[in-house]
Amino acid sequence: MFILRVMMSPKPITNLSDTALGSQASFTSAHFLPHGHDSLGEMVEIQQAKAVREIQQILDEAQSKVARVSTKTIVTSIIRSMDVVVGGCANTTVLLSTLVDFDTTSVEDTKVPFLHYAARRLAIMLTSKEYVAYGKKHACNAKLYYSAFALFNRVQVALFKVITDEASISAANQNNGSANVKSISTAPFKMAKAILDRGLTTLFAVLSESEVLEETVVFQNSIFSDEHKALVAAQVKKRGVPLQDVDVPLTKRQKQSLKPTPSAGTARKNVGAIDSLSSDMITMPKTYPEGEIALCPAALRNKSKGCANPKCSRSHDGPDKWSPAMTSCMIAHVKADDNLAWNPQVMTPEMLKLKHSKTPVKEG
Please report which confidence band the pLDDT of residue 122 belongs to, taking 50, 70 and 90 as the band edges: very high
pLDDT of residue 93: 93
Alpha-carbon span 215 to 213, nearest angstrom: 7
Question: Is the model's pLDDT at 28 over the cut of 70?
Answer: yes
- Beta-bridge mates of residue 276: 340
Alpha-carbon span 269 to 343, nearest angstrom: 14
Alpha-carbon span 73 to 82, nearest angstrom: 23
3-state DSSP helix/strand/coil percent for the chain, to nearest 5? 50, 5, 50
Each as own residue / partner, the long-range contacts of residues 79-82 (CB below 8 Å, 24 or more positions apart, any chain) are 79/16, 79/33, 79/142, 79/145, 79/146, 79/149, 79/222, 80/36, 80/142, 80/145, 81/145, 82/126, 82/131, 82/135, 82/141, 82/144, 82/145, 82/148
- Beta-bridge mates of residue 8: 27
DSSP 15: -
- Beta-bridge mates of residue 304: 270
The rounded mean pLDDT for the chain is: 78
Summarised one tens digit per residue, pLDDT across range 209-256 is: 888 888 899 898 888 888 777 776 776 666 655 544 455 555 555 555
Name residue 177's amino acid. Answer: G
Average pLDDT over residues 87-116: 90
Map out the domains of the chain as residue ranges.
16-35+74-219, 226-258, 274-342
Alpha-carbon span 344 to 299, nearest angstrom: 16
Please report which confidence band the pLDDT of residue 202 belongs to, taking 50, 70 and 90 as the band edges: very high
DSSP 3: -
Give the residue, 57 or 126, on which the prediction is more confident.
126
Percent of the chain scoring above 70 in pLDDT? 74
Q: SS3 sequence, 89-157?
A: HHHHHHHHHCCCCCCCCCCCCCCCCHHHHHHHHHHHHHCCHHHHHHHHHCCCCHHHHHHHHHHHHHHHH
pLDDT of residue 45: 72
Closest among 364, 292, 301 to 329, alpha carbons compared: 292
Element (H, E) at 359: none
pLDDT of residue 240: 58
Closest among 33, 14, 12 to 221, alpha carbons compared: 14
Question: Is the model's pLDDT at 5 over the cut of 50?
Answer: no
| 3-state secondary structure (DSSP) of residue 158 | helix
State the distance between the two ends of the chain, measured CA to CA, in whole angstroms: 76
Question: Is the model's pLDDT at 364 over the cut of 50?
Answer: no
Alpha-carbon span 362 to 243, nearest angstrom: 59
Please answer whether residues 205 and 211 qualify as being in contact, where contact means their C-beta atoms are separated by less than 8 angstroms: yes
pTM > 0.75: yes or no = no
Measured at the CA of 94, the angle between CA 88 and CA 96, to 5 degrees, comes to 105
